[in-house]
Amino acid sequence: MRMPWSLRSALTAYFGILALFGQAKSFETTVTLSLQEYWNEYVGPIEVADINTTVEATPIPPRELIPPPGLYYPSYPTGQQVPIQKKNESWSFPKDFMFGVASAAYQVEGAAKDEGKGPSIWDALSHRKPGFITTNETADVADNQYYLYKQDIARIAAMGVKVYAFSIAWSRIFPFGSGQVNEQGLAHYEDMINTCLQYGVKPAVTLYHWDMPLALQNSYGGLLSPNFIPDFVEYARVIFTRFGDKVDFFTTFNEPSVFCATFPYPEGFFKPTTIPDKQQQFFCSQHVLLAHSQAYHLAKSELNLTAKITIKLNGGYKIPLTNSTADAEATQRSWDFYEGLFANPVFLDGDYPASVKEHVSSFLPPLTDDQKALIKGSADVFAHDSYTSQFNMAPEGGIAACLANVSDPLYPTCANSSYTYAAADGGWNIGPAADPGVAWLHKATDWVPRLMSYIQETWKPRDGIVIAEFGFAEPFEQQKTVLGDILFDQARQAYYRDYMEAVLIALAEGTNVIGTFAWSLIDNLEWNSGNSIKFGLQYVNLTTQQRYYKASFFEYANAFKVYQEQ
């Protein structure tokens, strides 16, 4: 069989001719190729299956008949013409439940150098390191919330939301991280907080959501240095002093397990460090714990704040893949090196989990008794960003072999993870995947009650648990061009409906969940993925900066409409 000559050959020949004669001149000719040549030219070698003859049928193994984790379908039709879903009378959210939405300064504010703001490491990397944000975008303008916050807060209130959880950009308050305070920055957040209160929305404020003042990174390596601690505490002092009478919920750090794992930073940008790459995250973690606990005691003992103060941790429920001892051990190591690294010191005994302690003992100064005493108990509630869950299992070659091999990619945690059930349990995904750009996120709302009771039983927080972020990146949302299609975000709707029901189940089981902050108030710059990933409960037209409620926002609000105790 002969096929007509194709475009790529034509182009090759065209550029060949250009090179030969040095002038823009095209030509046409016709060549015929065999089917095989055609494959070779345009596709290349083709893999051949091992089995390439007809195979007889075999009985279907029972495990293949295990159904997937369920999706929810009511037993009646849905739609605007059908009355709202009936209530489960045994469920309710307590009266003072903190029904909130969340965002973070760098991701939504824009106004990157306005009103005296200094640069953060994210401003530097997004501008100077091509590909650091894969879309090569910056947050120079972002959602422009720095100027549009009044409307944003009005839209929060209009949906009946009770809490707005946002972060303060440190480099707006201290443009160089320390030293001179920028009054314009403080005045800005003061007005934002006042506006919230005016609308009946409680502000919940995070001090550090990843936007390290560039000057601190350049002068001493930011979180890699103990110099960070007094600078953070001074920043906290300014915020607590100014806003402590208006804000009743503060978090010091957002997700240290995530930002400490971003070390080492790209070479050639900031102050170089002599700390070996794999140790950097533990130095960062220690400085976080020390800075957090000092800020906590400053607020409580010196400034007499009555606000709840905590640190925001994150992670999924960790499920042993099989009932083997090795998988149980791997799962425990996974807790230890993720939440436990922060939660054990803060909520238990002031010190790291044993497995972590063993690992860091050769390079990290041990916490002193005084430090441990400061860290222990330095959080009123457990703030946890609980998006998803995963299975954990021992590495292929076993935990011991991994621990003996520092270059094993799983070292030092030496636990593997997966988003699929074991083959013997059906092999299904734990739940539907979010956008392919967010590989870590699957809907796993059925595990939320287990995660909540695990947190409560393990770390016993005094004043309960706040789910300080949860949300879903609707698959392929950035590819949609019709507004109405963007707003009808079915996968995210299902996520919020099932998630809130899971919280109601957790409450009914006696777990003290005191609030939920949905991520996110609006579509925003998703860190290294830029605007290609959407987590918003509202769509933002980045040309007009107009906001539009998505269907999922109504789903989230409806959970409270139906189940909030009056």
Residue 250 bridge partners (DSSP) = 205, 309
Please tell me the distance from the alpha carbon of residue 500 to that of residue 506, in angstroms, as a whole number: 10
Contact region with ligand PNW (CB under 6 A), list: 47-55, 233-241, 251-259, 268-276: 251-259
Does the footprint of ligand PNW cover residue 535 (CB under 6 A)?
yes
- Of 145, 254, 286, 478, the one binding ligand PNW (CB under 6 A) is 254
Calpha distance 542→530 (Å, rounded):
13
How many Å apart are CA 101 and CA 517, to the nearest integer? 5
Residue 255 is a catalytic residue: yes
Q: Is 255 an interacting residue with respect to ligand PNW (CB under 6 A)? A: yes
Site string (107-146) toward ligand PNW, x via CB under 6 A: x---------------------------------------
Q: Does 338 bind ligand PNW (CB under 6 A)?
A: no
Do the beta carbons of residue 235 and residue 291 sit within 8 Å?
no
Nearest Cα to 62, choosing from 430, 431, 425, 322?
A: 425
| Widest pairwise Cα distance in the chain | 86
Contacts of 34 (CB under 8 A, 6+ apart): 1, 2, 3
Distance of closest approach, residue 368 Cβ to ligand PNW, in angstroms = 31
- In terms of CB distance, is 258 or 422 closer to ligand PNW? 258
Q: CB 566 → ligand PNW: shortest distance, Å?
A: 32
Q: Which residue is nearest to ligand PNW (CB)?
A: 440
> What is d(CA 294, CA 259) in angstroms, rounded to the nearest whole number?
20
Euclidean distance between CA atoms 115 and 175, whole angstroms: 10
> Which phi and psi (to 5°) does residue 292 adopt?
-60, -50
d(CA 354, CA 375): 17
Residue 29 CA to residue 27 CA, distance in Å, equals: 7
How many C-beta atoms surround the C-beta of residue 49 within 10 A? 5
Q: Is 440 in the site for ligand PNW (CB under 6 A)?
A: yes
Which 459-488 residues touch ligand PNW, going by CB under 6 A? 469
Q: Kindly write out the interface string for residues 407-426 of this chain, putting x where it contacts ligand PNW by CB under 6 A and - elsewhere.
A: --------------------
Specify the residue, 339 or 385, whose C-beta has the smaller distance to ligand PNW: 385
Mark the segment that binds ligand PNW (CB under 6 A) among 75-83, 222-230, 253-261, 303-311: 253-261
Q: How far apart are CA 493 and CA 549, in angstroms?
A: 12
| 258 makes contact with ligand PNW (CB under 6 A) | yes
Q: How far apart are CA 547 and CA 346, in angstroms?
A: 39
Closer residue to ligand PNW (CB): 343 or 367: 343
When binding is defined by CB under 6 A, the residue of 178, 285, 314, 516 that contacts ligand PNW is 314
Is 387 an interacting residue with respect to ligand PNW (CB under 6 A)? yes
Please give the backbone phi and psi of residue 409, each rounded to the nearest 5 degrees, phi first: -60, -25
Check residue 104 for interaction with ligand PNW (CB under 6 A).
yes
Q: What is the 3-state secondary structure (H, E, C) of 195-210?
A: HHHHCCCEEEEEEECC
Please select the residue that binds ligand PNW; options are 166, 220, 519, 553, rule is CB under 6 A: 519
Question: How far is Cα 522 from Cα 548, in angstroms, rounded to an integer?
Answer: 9
Rounded-to-10 torsion of CA 516, 459, 224, 364: -170
- Cβ atoms 121, 522 nearer than 8 A: no
Instruction: For residue 113, give the DSSP letter.
Output: T
Catalytic residue among 109, 329, 339, 469: 469
Site size toward ligand PNW, by CB under 6 A: 13
Closer to ligand PNW by Cβ: residue 182 or 281: 281
Nearer to ligand PNW, 253 or 282 (CB): 253
User: What tokens does 359 get?
Assistant: 């690992």
**Residue 534, SS3?**
coil
Query: Closest CB to ligand PNW among 141 and 258?
Result: 258
56 is catalytic: no
By CB under 6 A, is residue 493 in contact with ligand PNW?
Answer: no
Query: Residues 340-359 vs ligand PNW: string with x where CB under 6 A?
Result: --------------------
Q: Report, in Å, the least distance between residue 66 CB and ligand PNW.
A: 27
Closer Cβ to ligand PNW, 231 or 469, answer by number: 469
Q: Which is nearer to ligand PNW, 496 or 563 (CB)?
A: 496
Supply the residues annotated as catalytic.
255, 469
* Residues binding ligand PNW (CB under 6 A): 104, 107, 254-255, 258, 314, 385, 387, 440, 469, 519, 526, 535
